[in-house]
């Protein structure tokens, strides 16, 4: 059985993951408008991934006898600047999400809920990978220059 405190914390994370999904979808629309279809495709994959995170968290709460809820999902920005500025924002956002997941693990530990700690550590491991990936992309976009950005756009569009 999941405690109310942990349930509420996970429900807050569900809403945060849905906000993240909307952020990436908005970023995708921006990149499409700016003529970077590969980056737009990559960001749409992030949109799907963040939605899946929200669903995985909800499924977990329900399996533990709790009630999964979605709170109000705030409006996301719609203007992100250049590809370099956008991917720097992506990286910084992933760092914030990592911090939020770390706090969830702390709540599970304070509630002495080892099953939830174990479940949430899976998210921690995934976030480490997401941070590294987005940092790498942000760095590549900065280095790409005007010509290289088109090559990078095509490479990002290959994401499965």
Binned at pLDDT 50, 70 and 90, residue 147 comes out as confident
Find all residues with CB under 8 Å of 122, minimum gap 6, and list them: none
Question: Which whole-number Å values give the CA distances from 47 to 11, 13, 62, 83, 100, in the listed order?
Answer: 19, 15, 23, 17, 18
pLDDT at site 102: 96
Confidence band, pLDDT 50/70/90 cuts, at residue 126: very high
How far out from the chain centre does Cα 11 lie? 15
What pLDDT is stored for residue 160 in this prediction? 78
Query: What integer pLDDT is reported at residue 146 of this predicted model?
Result: 78
Q: Would you say residue 106 has pLDDT above 90?
A: yes
Q: How confident is the model at residue 15 (pLDDT cuts 50, 70, 90)?
A: very high
Q: Cβ-count burial of 145 within 10 angstroms (0-12 exposed, 13-18 middle, 19+ buried)?
A: exposed
Q: How confident is the model at residue 143 (pLDDT cuts 50, 70, 90)?
A: very high
Least confident of 50-54, 89-93, 149-153: 149-153
Distance of CA 28 to the CA centre of its chain: 14
Handedness of CA 34, 38, 43, 44 (dihedral sign): positive
Contacts for 140 with CB less than 8 Å, ≥ 6 apart: 152
Residue 52 pLDDT > 90: yes
- Could you identify the residue written with the tokens 């991934």? 49
What is the arithmetic mean of pLDDT over 135-146?
A: 92
Tell me what percent of the residues of the chain surpass a pLDDT of 90: 93
Cα–Cα–Cα angle for 112, 113, 115, rounded to 5 degrees: 145
CB 160 within 8 A of CB 42: no
Neighbour tally for 23: CB within 10 Å: 20
As a whole number of angstroms, the distance between CA 46 and CA 43 comes to: 5
Mean of all residue pLDDT scores within the chain: 95
pLDDT digit string, tens, across residues 62-89: 999 999 999 999 999 999 999 999 999 9
Q: Number of C-alpha atoms within 13 angstroms, CB side, residue 95? A: 8
User: For the chain, which domains are there?
Assistant: 4-156 (1.20.1260.10)
Task: Give the pLDDT confidence score for residue 117 in this predicted structure.
Answer: 96
């Amino acid at each position: 059985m999941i405690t109310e405190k942990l349930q509420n914390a996970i429900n807050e994370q569900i809403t945060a993951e849905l906000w993240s999904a909307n952020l990436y979808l908005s970023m995708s629309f921006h990149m499409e408008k700016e003529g970077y279809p590969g980056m737009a495709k990559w960001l749409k994959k992030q949109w799907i991934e963040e939605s899946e995170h929200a669903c995985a968290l909800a499924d977990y709460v329900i399996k533990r006898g709790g009630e999964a809820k979605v709170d109000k999902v705030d409006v996301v920005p719609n203007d992100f600047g250049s590809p370099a500025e956008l991917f720097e924002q992506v990286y910084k956002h992933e760092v914030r999400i990592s911090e939020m997941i770390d706090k969830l693990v702390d709540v599970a530990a304070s509630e002495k809920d080892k099953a939830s700690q174990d479940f949430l550590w899976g998210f921690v491991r995934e976030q480490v990978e997401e941070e590294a990936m987005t940092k790498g992309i942000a760095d590549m976009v900065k280095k790409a220059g005007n010509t290289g950005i088109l090559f990078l756009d095509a490479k990002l569009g290959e994401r499965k």
